[in-house]
Each structure stands twice: as structure tokens, then as C-alpha cells.
Amino acid sequence: MDAFSLKAEDWHVNVQPLSGSPANFAVYTALLKPGDRIMGLSLAHGGHLTHGHQFETKEGETKKVSASSIYFESSPYYVSEETGLIDYDKLAE
């Protein structure tokens, strides 16, 4: 504050993440331990890389491609191809 000749009551700070990715990871690491399980909407169905995205190679190997899929056990869920909606009964399975 002295460097800018500000009084304490005039000093304010805006703390925000750069984007949704660090925001999501901040929440995950605040609430979960490495190896805990998360579910996220599949990337191909409108989800985000930070929802634990992974993909299967032609050889059948699963590749974890986001920090959330590396640090946490992730399971995707999907929307119905017919309706574009989440099937909550299938999600509960």
C-alpha cells in the first residue's frame, strides 16, 4: 500500500482464476484427495477436458489427457442421442 500511497480502506483486490480450467481444478483439489472419484459430462457430449476426459486408443488403451483424469478417477456420463438430454436413470446405474 505504501508503494502506491493508498490508505487501507482504499485498497481492494480482485482474486479470480484465469479461466474455468484452473477454477475447476481449484475446487477439485480443495474438496478431493488424489484418487477420489469424479463424474463429468463426456467431452463429446458437451463436457470439458477438466471433467476428467480420457479416450481409448485404437489399441484399446485408455489415455488420460487432462490433469483431472490423472489425479482423480473419472467416469464420464452422456446425453441421449435421441433427445439430447441426460438420462438420469442410466446415470444412476
Residue 1 pLDDT level (bands cut at 50, 70, 90): low
Residue 18 pLDDT level (bands cut at 50, 70, 90): confident
Residue 42 domain flag:
yes
Of 18, 57, 54, the C-alpha closest to 38 is 54
- Cα–Cα distance, 91 to 88 (Å, whole number): 5
Confidence at residue 55, expressed as pLDDT on a 0 to 100 scale:
87
Residue 1 domain flag:
no
**pLDDT beyond 90 at 79:** yes
Q: What number is the average pLDDT over the span 39-62?
A: 90
**pLDDT beyond 80 at 81:** yes
CB 68 within 8 A of CB 39: no
The count of structural domains within the chain is 1
Residue 16 domain flag:
no
- Cα–Cα distance, 88 to 28 (Å, whole number): 23
Q: What number is the average pLDDT over the span 36-59?
A: 90
Residue 7 domain flag:
no
CB 47 within 8 A of CB 83: no
Q: What number is the average pLDDT over the span 35-47?
A: 92
Residue 80 domain flag:
yes
Range of the domain at 61: 35-93
Residue 29 domain flag:
no
Confidence at residue 4, expressed as pLDDT on a 0 to 100 scale:
76
If you search the block for the grid coordinates 490508505, which residue do you land on? 7
